[in-house]
Amino acid sequence: MRRDIFQAIADPTRRAIIALIAIQAMTPNAIATRFDMSRQAISKHMRILTECDIVKPRQHGREIYYHLEVEKIKEIDKWLEQFRRIWESRYEQLDQLLETIKKETK
């Protein structure tokens, strides 16, 4: 079952895992040592991240390392871009209003 990418980032633990893996690929055990939860709970989060295609497991010898799939993260950025344009437009309007108020008070 494929999950929506936004399900992956909805949980703060999964966001923290994504941030860790973004820095370097890690084994499930290395990831689990960073959190105060069971190895099974981390496995559940990793399964969701894998189902969302945000992380990919790769075998290196006997170890499995999880790597971040940057292209999937770009989907989030693309979705956020529409809101970024709105926010920037509103900030520009606010700047213009503040400039007008500043000129009127002089």
Task: Write the CATH number for 83.
Answer: 1.10.10.10
Query: By three-state DSSP, how is residue 67 classified?
Result: strand
Which pLDDT tens digit goes with each residue over 1-23?
Answer: 567 888 889 999 999 999 999 99
The stretch 31-40 carries a mean pLDDT of 93
Number of domains, the chain: 1
Residue 7's pLDDT is 86
Tokens 């559940």 belong to 44
Share the mean pLDDT of the chain: 91
Taking Cα atoms as reference points, which of 104, 70, 76, 83 lies closest to residue 8? 76
Strand partners, 67: 56
Handedness of CA 15, 17, 18, 24 (dihedral sign): positive
The tokens for 85 are: 């344009």
Question: Residue 65 sits in which domain range?
Answer: 5-104
Query: By three-state DSSP, how is residue 93 classified?
Result: helix
Kindly indicate the confidence band of residue 106, based on its pLDDT and cuts at 50, 70 and 90: confident
